[in-house]
Homo-oligomer: A and B are copies of this chain.
């Protein structure tokens, strides 16, 4: 058994103890991991949302701009590519694009080769905004991660990768 120093309890521990009282037969080990993964995901979503709100955009809208930015010059993708990358239905994408286009952060133009198709391109304003926002969002996450020292953080990332690869694959 590796050393596992006693830590103070967290809300997940409390839930697990309650289950132990009323259903001592249950094996709640998996909750130790996935209960915390869920709560962390929610808590961080909240923080990052606030970071982007300073730029007048939502988390989902940031994701659209970031995907275009990451794709490199000329910062152009189709709505199809965007919704596939963000694991979103095309309907959800339409709404986001509407709002971002109204804000002048991106531009829709017809695809010259496919009369059905569309091009979505970052405007200069959109490029400038996403380049600044990505730094602020990362800073919020980096600050939260500083609760762990670099070695622990690296170890955590590796364990999560292993779990994720088996879960998504």
Contacts and interface: CB of A to CB of B under 8 A. Distances in A.
Interface of A: 1-2, 4-5, 7-8, 10-13, 15, 18-19, 21-23, 26-34, 36-45, 69-72, 87, 131, 134-135, 138, 141-142, 144-145, 147-148, 151-168
18 contacts: A7-B165, A10-B161, A26-B135, A27-B138, A29-B145, A30-B138, A30-B145, A32-B153, A33-B153, A34-B44, A37-B160, A38-B41, A40-B160, A40-B164, A144-B163, A147-B163, A156-B163, A159-B159
Contacts of A2: 151, 154-155
A142 B40 contact: no
Number of copies: 2
A167 B7 contact: no
A5 B158 CA distance: 9
Contacts of A156: 33, 156, 159-160, 163
